Amino acid sequence: MATGTDHQPSPDTFAALYEVIGGFNKTGTVLTPGTRFSEDLNFDSLVVMEFVAEVEDRFDISVPLNLLPDIATIADFAVALEKIVAEDRR
Amino acid sequence: MADLFDRFAPLMSQRDAFFTDGGADPFNVRMTEILSQTEAMIGNRRTILVGTNNYLGLTFSPEALAAAHAALDAGGTGTTGSRVANGTYAGHADLEQALCDFFDTRHAMVFSTGFLANLGVLSTLMGQGDYILMDADCHASIYDGVRASAAEIIRFKHNDAADLDKRLARLAGKPGNKLIVVEGIYSMLGDTAPLRDIVAVKKKYENVYLLSDEAHSLGVLGKYGRGLPEQEDCEDDVDFIVGTFSKSVGTVGGFCVSNHPKFNILRLVCRPYVFTASLPPAVVAAAQANLSLIKSGGALRTRLMRNAQKLHAGLSGLGLKIASKVSPVVAVVAPEPAVAVAFWRGLIEAGVYVNLALPPATPYGYSLLRASLCAAHTEEQLDEVIGIFADVATSLGLIEPQRKRAAIG
């Protein structure tokens, strides 16, 4: 998702994501933009769904399920998130 | 080079941790003889079945048995192909007409299983630029169906019409059709959709359709067994009903009914309809025979609900946590997966079969002992089931011995 775009998500977006992920970070992994949900955080399908629901609440958006297969890292998610927020404002 | 199956390693180790010590294993239950709708031999033990989804007990109805026998002799063991390629048997068309009569809809389409009905309808109904808004607790077949669709997929919080409203409001300015997907009774916990609230939200917006999966509520809810839309008196507002013959109808197969005038084009575009073998004649005949029993099955529904009440009251009286209000599905919540496994084993060793359901297949990460009632369960059977739950729960330290005595007298 992040590849092929110049867009850099804002530090605020990352900070908010880190906060939400904190509640699910059972491996105690240090969070960086490159942290991977599946490999590094061991998120299974159920945790992914709970995590997405929390992000949706926090940002008052809907994250289509179709986006999820293309999201591997926190940076990927941040880019997708800012795109949804920007589209909703239009 | 990694082994082909290495990516399943976490699941394999979870399974092995629970089930390779030689004890009873839900993946290896062998029912060697089906004694009735409510009992089977598992190994050498007569076992009460409380996990079959055979809500009305119609798997041995004399009407369906006779119809199936006759159709088997007349039409053979299988159709050996798809209706699109090999042709429709008269029985298929009769069954579809029977579904139209039952639901009072213009159209009905029969699929080979309920899973395929969801897969077929949900993958084709909405296209590029459309939106599907699905309840988060929907069945795997709905998830797989929408995943195969070109539409954008949005989940709303389980049974939360306000959350659905919020999400539809965000889409209000956008072109494209919207389809809401809910279930009449959710299979794991047995809770029902707030259908009137969902309909009210639907009506606030343009181009919104509603599909309800009545797999577990067909035959169970409504005066005539037409499911939650009938019970909630909002059948005209539900555009598509999907269902299965594998629960209250007592055989196998799936369907979708609708009043949409152009519905029949789905027969050419639903790949899980076009490219799979149609139902064999005996199954078709059994489904049709039992469908008419369901319509006049008020007494069966009364017995089913009475049994549901009894088991729900009995198990909650023991101090066990039940996931939802009284419903033909009674799901006991265990504190963690290992306890659920031990509980399930204790039950089956004592002659009670329920479904073991573990995360991630369950909502809220619950570990469940999922029981489903049958109209044919007797009071004596349910007393025995409650007593065995009490024994096993006590031996696992989940309830106090005095609770057990108080509950079962």
A37-86 pLDDT, tens digit per residue, is 998 998 988 889 889 999 999 999 999 999 999 999 999 999 999 999 99
Judging by beta carbons within 10 Å of its beta carbon (0-12, 13-18, 19+), is residue A44 exposed, middle or buried?
middle
Rounded to an integer, what distance in angstroms lies between the CA atom of residue B235 and that of residue B226? 9
Amino acid present at B189: L
- Check residue B405 and give its pLDDT: 61
B153 to chain A, any CB pair closer than 8 A? The answer is: yes
Closest CA to B99 of B86, B85, B117, B115: B117
Give me the interface pTM, i.e. the ipTM. 0.85
Domain spanning A11-89, CATH architecture: Orthogonal Bundle (1.10)
Enumerate the domain spans of chain A: 11-89
- B360 and A53 within 8 Å at the Cβ level: the answer is no
- Name the active-site residue from B112, B123, B187, B217: B187
Question: Is there a contact between B360 and A45 if contact means CB atoms under 8 Å apart?
Answer: yes
Give the pLDDT confidence score for residue A1 in this predicted structure.
46
Residue with tokens 């577990």: B216
The predicted pLDDT at position B24 comes to 82
Task: Please write the tens of the pLDDT for every residue from B68-121.
Answer: 999 999 999 999 999 999 899 999 999 999 999 999 999 999 999 999 999 999
Q: Report chain A residues whose CB lies below 8 A from the CB of B129.
A: none
pLDDT of residue B406: 62
Q: Give the closest-approach CA distance of A67 to chain B in angstroms.
A: 9
Is residue B141 flagged as an active site residue?
no
DSSP A51-70: HHHHHHHHHT----GGGGGG
- From the list B10, B170, B359, which residue is nearest A62 (CB)? B170
Query: Residues B107, B247, B310, B312: which is the catalytic one?
Result: B247
Q: Which domains does chain B have, with CATH numbers?
A: 19-56+298-408 (3.90.1150.10), 61-295 (3.40.640.10)
Separation between Cα atoms, residue B326 and residue B27, nearest integer Å: 28
Q: Residue B25: CA atoms inside 13 Å, Cβ hemisphere, count?
A: 12
Residue with tokens 């399920």: A65
The residue ranges of chain B whose pLDDT is under 70 are 1, 402-409
Q: What's the rounded Cα separation, in Å, for the pair B320 and B312?
A: 10
- Residue B361: closest C-alpha in chain A: A46
Check CB contact under 8 Å for A66 and B170: no
The verdict on whether B107 is a catalytic residue reads no
Cross-chain residue pair A46–B359, CB shorter than 8 Å:
yes
Q: Given CB atoms, is B167 within the 8 Å cutoff of chain A?
A: yes
* Residue B49 near residue B267 (C-beta atoms within 8 A): no
pLDDT score at A26:
85
Identify the pLDDT of residue B147: 95
Confirm whether B377 is a catalytic residue. Answer: no
Distance CA B291, CA B299 (A): 15
- What is the nearest CA distance from A62 to chain B, expressed in angstroms? 7
Q: Tell whether the model's pLDDT for residue A6 goes beyond 70.
A: no
Q: Which residues make beta-bridge pairs with B33?
A: B41
Q: Are the CB atoms for B220 and B304 separated by under 8 Å?
A: yes
Q: Which residues of chain A have a CB within 8 Å of the CB of B136?
A: 49, 53
Q: Given CB atoms, is B22 within the 8 Å cutoff of chain A?
A: no
Cα(B17)–Cα(B315) distance, integer angstroms: 28
pLDDT of residue A2: 44
Whether residue B154 lies within 8 A of chain A, CB to CB, comes out as yes
